[in-house]
Chain A
C-alpha cells in the first residue's frame, strides 16, 4: 500500500466510524443534557435526585437490585459473622397480620432532606450534597457510629474488617460508616443507579424531584406515594407506591 493509499484508507475508516457512532453520541448527549454535570461543576439545588419504588411490581424473593448494588459498589467481602456485613440495600418482606397481605420492597438510604445522620455527625463526614444525595466523606469519618444510632431506616453499615478488591470509583474502608450513595459515580455521568438499571420489573424509577416534567414527578402527581416513617417528617428522597 502506497503512502497516499494508506492515508486515504485511514481517512475513510475514520469517516465511517464517525457516521457509525454519531447517533449514539447524539443520544448520549441528549440523555446527559438532563443529568450529567460538567467536570468541575458543583452539584446544585436545582436538582434533587430521588426514587419512586412501585412495590406492586417488586417480586418477593427477587434480589437483583441487591446483587447489582454489590457488583457496582464492590461489596464483595466475606464476613464470618453476617451481622457485621455491610448491606447498602436489602429486601424487606412485609406482612399485614390483619389482612395477611404480603409485599416486598427494597430498603436503602432514603436520602432525607432533613437527615438525622447529618445532624448528629460530630465531624461533618455525614453530609448532604446540594442535589439531595446523602453521603459519607471517607476522609473525615472517624467511625463513631453515631449516625447509625440516629438513622431510622437502619440504612448504614460500619466496615468491620480490612477490605480488598475495591471498585476504585467507590472508596470504602475499614472503620468507616457507609451507605447507599444513589450510585453517585453513575449519576454524575448521566447514568442510572445500578439497582434501578438492573430491576427486571422496572419497579424502581429514578429522577429529579425538582423537575416538574420528569417522569418521577409526573407519576408521583398521579399515584399515591408513601414515605417510610413519614411521621418523622424527614422528607425522604425515596418514595414508595403500593404500601
Chain B
C-alpha cells in the first residue's frame, strides 16, 4: 500500500476538514449523552411515534452504505475497468457510512449503555438480531476486500471477495427492508416489496453519494471527469432513480387497490403533512428533477448536472425515509376497523411528531462520522480514482462518443 504525498496547503485544508468532521461528531456525542442522561423526554419521539429523526439518518446511512458498494461490485464482479478504479473509494465509503449509521442507531437506544447485550443475547426470530450479524459481517468482508484491492500481493483474491461482498450487501439491504417488511401491525409496512425496494433505493442513494464524493475529490486534485465515465455513471444513476420510482409506484398502486388500505393511502398521499413531502420531496426533488438533469440532452453531459442530480437524490432520500418511517407510524393503528375510536392514548388520532434538536444533532453526528472516516481515509491511503485517459479516449472514439 502506498501513502499519498501532500502539499502544505492541502495539509492545512485536511486538518480544517478533519476538525469540522470531529466537531460534528463531538456535537452528536454530546446530544447522545444528553438523551442518555435525561431520557428520550428531550426528544420529539413519543409512545405513538417511537422511531424518529435518528432512524431517518441511520437508515439513510446504512442503506446508502450498502448501495455505494455497487460501484466496486460492477468493477470486481462484472469486470468493468472504469468501476474497478473506483472500487477502493467505494469500499471506504461503505465502511464510513455503515459506521455512521450504526453510531446513530446505537446511541439512540433507550439503554445505549447496554448495547453490548445486542452481541451477547440473540433472539434468532428477530430481523434486528439478523442485522447485527449482517452489519458486523459487512464490516469484516469489506475491510478484507479493501485489503485485496489495495495490496498488490492480495489482488488475485479481490474477485471472490468482491463477489462475497456483493452478495452480502444484497442480503444486508434485504434485512434492512425487512425490518419494516416483517411488521404485521402497521398498514405502511408488512409488504415483501419493501426488501427489493430498499435494494434499488440503496443503488440510487449509494451511487449519488459516491458521485458527490468523487466530484469533490476531483475538484480538490484539479481533475475533471472523463466524458465517457461521466456518461456511463449518469446513465446508471438515471436507471436506478427510474427503477426506484417504479417500485414506489407499484407499492402505492397495490395499496390503493385494496379497500382496507385506501384510507391509509389517502392519508399519506393527499390529506396529511406527509403528502407534500411525498410529492415534492420524494417524487419531484428525489426523482423527476434528477431524471430530467440526467437525461435531457441539453443538460445531461455537464458535470454540474450530474452533481446537482446526485445532491437532489440525497435530499429526496431523506424525504422518502421521513414519509416512510414517520408517516407510517403517524397513521393510527386500526384495532377496530370501520369504527370511530378515541382514548387517552390517542387511539384513532393521527400521531404528532416534531423532531427536537438533540435527535437531529445525533443524526448529523452519524453523517460526521462518515465524513471524518472518509476524509482521513482518502488522506492516508490512495483512494483517488485515476482513469486510464488514453484508453478512455480510444474507447470514446470507438463508440463514436
By beta carbon, the residue of chain B nearest A95 is B340
Q: Which of B3-11, B163-171, B179-187 contacts A (4 or more CB under 8 A)?
A: B179-187
Which of A80, A143, A161, A176 has most B Cβ within 10 Å? A143
- Set B46, B50, B122, B182: member contacting A122, Cβ < 8 A: B122
**Chain B hits for A154, CB < 8 A:** 47-48, 333, 335, 345, 347
Interface residues of A in 89-110 (CB under 8 A from B): 90-98, 107
Task: Report the nearest A residue to B179, measured CB to CB.
Answer: A146
Tell me if B111 counts as interface (CB < 8 A to partner A): yes
Are B47 and A152 closer than 8 Å at their CB atoms? no
Q: Is the CB of A122 within 8 A of B110?
A: no
Q: Smallest CB–CB gap between A160 and chain B, Å?
A: 4
Which residues, 127 to 169 on A, are CB-close (under 8 Å) to B? 140-146, 148-154, 156-162
Cβ-defined contact, A159 with B121, below 8 A: no
Chain A residues contacting B183 (CB-CB under 8 Å) are 116, 120, 149-150
B39 at the interface (CB under 8 A from A): yes
Q: How far is the CB of A157 from chain B (nearest CB, A)?
A: 5
Contact with A along B115-141 (1 / 0, CB 8 A): 101100111011111001000000000
Task: State the CA gap A11–B167 with chains docked (Å).
Answer: 82
Q: Does B114 sit within 8 A of A, measured CB to CB?
A: yes
Contact residue among B51, B129, B342, B345 (Cβ-Cβ distance under 8 Å from A87): B345
Q: Tell me which of B41, B115, B126, B346 contacts A80 (CB under 8 A).
A: B41
B335, A92: Cβ atoms closer than 8 Å: yes
Contacts of B118 in A (CB 8 A): 122-123, 142
A229 to B333 Cα, complex, angstroms: 11
Q: A-facing mask of B98-117, CB < 8 A → 1, else 0? A: 00000000000111101101
Which residues of B lie under 8 Å from residue A79 when comparing CB positions?
A: 41
Q: Which residues of A contact B122 (CB under 8 A)?
A: 122-124
A161 touches B128 (CB 8 A): no
State the A residues within 8 Å of B (CB).
79-87, 90-98, 107, 116, 118-125, 140-146, 148-154, 156-162, 174-177, 228-229, 232, 243
Interface residues of B (CB under 8 A from A): 36, 38-41, 46-48, 50-51, 109-112, 114-115, 117-118, 121-123, 125-129, 132, 179, 182-186, 329, 333, 335-336, 338-347, 351-352
A-B contact sample (6 more), CB < 8 A, given A90-B345, A116-B185, A150-B185: A83-B47, A92-B336, A122-B118, A124-B122, A144-B128, A229-B335
A-B complex: 3 closest residue pairs judged by Cβ atoms: A143-B110, A175-B110, A122-B128
